[in-house]
Chain A
Amino acid sequence: MSKFVADTSSLADWISIVTGPTGLAVSVLGFGLAIWQIRKVRKSTEAAASASSTAARTAAANMVLFLIPDLQAIASEISTALESGDRERLPELLDRWRETGIRVRGLLKARGEVDAAVLTALTRSFAQATDAKAKIRSGVELHEATTAFQRSIDKAIEEVGDLGGQMLVKVEERTAVES
């Protein structure tokens, strides 16, 4: 019995000696393979996420470009309403300016980094829209009520238009690269 135990122990030692380094090598190899696969999957996930993010940013840029003429059209309607002294229509136009401007700002923020000057110009125009609306409702003369607001929308259109021009160039460059 004791001899059998001694023989078995010796065999186990030999098996350990032979399989130990091999097993270790196989384990290391397997571990390396697992890490490689994880990295591969992560890279493809990151690439997909990046492509999705780029597509979202491009879509946001296109939407902004689409809304800029809307802002210009509202500004033009405000001028026409002022010239014709249309006190009833102006508050509605001021609200439309603010709603469209808020959408533009949201899209710009979704796009990523936005120049503070653009955001400030929009915020100022919203504050002055509120003031102009209150003045119109309290009976202040129309031009007096809207002078500061008109200055602020001119500035906002200038800033957004400038940014829109830059975005348009980027979209065109991207399209050229893709084609």
Chain B
Amino acid sequence: MKAERLLEFIGGLTEPTRTRHIRWATEGSSSFLLSIPSGSVRIRSMDGDGMWPYELQILDENGVSVETAETEVEREAGQGMTLKNTPLSLALSELYEAARDNSLNVETVMENILRDVEKGLSGTGDFPTSPTDDDIPF
């Protein structure tokens, strides 16, 4: 597939993922899957550590893999690899982060935590904001 088309495809997924118009599912801690009736897209951290290199896999409606793309890296003998800052690598990183936040519902969790903290700080929450008689004094 042409690199331009692939970039366009990834870009076309990233924004709706950020705005939660589409929902990704977790497949473990570092792999995320988007499924819609016409097919699926998987993005995963290849080393399983949540960091680059990332791999994108496009599957048809029968679950057959039809296209893959990977973060572009330079492999150096004895020194591991370094990330090549290409448009594809950047696009894959952005999609991975967006898919992770989307599937783990990160924004909602953060909002709920902040809301509870605000309730607690204003004294209207369920948890105490000042020491009570039940608190152990040490």
On A, residues with C-beta under 8 Å from B are: 98, 102, 105, 116, 119-121, 123-131, 147-148
A127's nearest neighbour on chain B, judged by CB, is: B40
With a cutoff of 8 Å between Cβ atoms, the chain B residues found around residue A120 in the complex are: 35-37
With a cutoff of 8 Å between Cβ atoms, the chain B residues found around residue A116 in the complex are: 36-37
Q: Is the CB of A123 within 8 A of B37?
A: yes
Q: Is the CB of B59 within 8 A of A130?
A: yes
With a cutoff of 8 Å between Cβ atoms, the chain B residues found around residue A102 in the complex are: 62
Q: Which 3 residue pairs of A and B lie closest in terms of their CB atoms, listed nearest first?
A: A126-B63, A124-B35, A119-B37
Q: A126-B63, A127-B33 are in contact. List 12 more A-B contacts (CB 8 A).
A: A105-B61, A123-B35, A126-B40, A126-B61, A126-B62, A127-B40, A127-B59, A127-B63, A128-B63, A130-B63, A130-B64, A148-B26
With a cutoff of 8 Å between Cβ atoms, the chain A residues found around residue B38 in the complex are: 123
Contact with A along B40-77 (1 / 0, CB 8 A): 10100000000000000001011111000000000000
Distance in Å from the Cβ of B47 to the closest Cβ of chain A? 15
Q: Is the CB of B39 within 8 A of A123?
A: yes
With a cutoff of 8 Å between Cβ atoms, the chain B residues found around residue A125 in the complex are: 63
Given A123-B37, A124-B35, A148-B28, A131 contacting B61 (CB threshold 8 A): no
Q: How far is the CA of A130 from the CA of B35 in the complex (A)?
A: 13
With a cutoff of 8 Å between Cβ atoms, the chain A residues found around residue B64 in the complex are: 130
| Interface residue B25 (Cβ < 8 Å from any Cβ of A) | yes
Q: How far is the CA of A116 from the CA of B22 in the complex (A)?
A: 13
Q: How far is the CA of A131 from the CA of B25 in the complex (A)?
A: 14
On B, residues with C-beta under 8 Å from A are: 25-28, 31, 33, 35-40, 42, 59, 61-65
Distance in Å from the Cβ of A88 to the closest Cβ of chain B? 21
With a cutoff of 8 Å between Cβ atoms, the chain A residues found around residue B63 in the complex are: 98, 123, 125-130
With a cutoff of 8 Å between Cβ atoms, the chain B residues found around residue A124 in the complex are: 25, 33, 35, 40
Distance in Å from the Cβ of B63 to the closest Cβ of chain A? 3
What are 25 A-B pairs with beta-carbon distances under 8 A? A98-B62, A98-B63, A105-B61, A119-B37, A120-B37, A123-B36, A123-B39, A123-B63, A124-B25, A124-B33, A124-B35, A126-B40, A126-B61, A126-B62, A126-B63, A127-B33, A127-B40, A127-B59, A128-B27, A128-B63, A130-B59, A130-B63, A131-B27, A148-B25, A148-B28
Q: How far is the CA of A120 from the CA of B59 in the complex (A)?
A: 13
Q: How far is the CA of A124 from the CA of B32 in the complex (A)?
A: 11
A114's nearest neighbour on chain B, judged by CB, is: B37
Q: Is the CB of B61 within 8 A of A123?
A: yes
B25's nearest neighbour on chain A, judged by CB, is: A124
With a cutoff of 8 Å between Cβ atoms, the chain A residues found around residue B36 in the complex are: 116, 120, 123
A97's nearest neighbour on chain B, judged by CB, is: B63
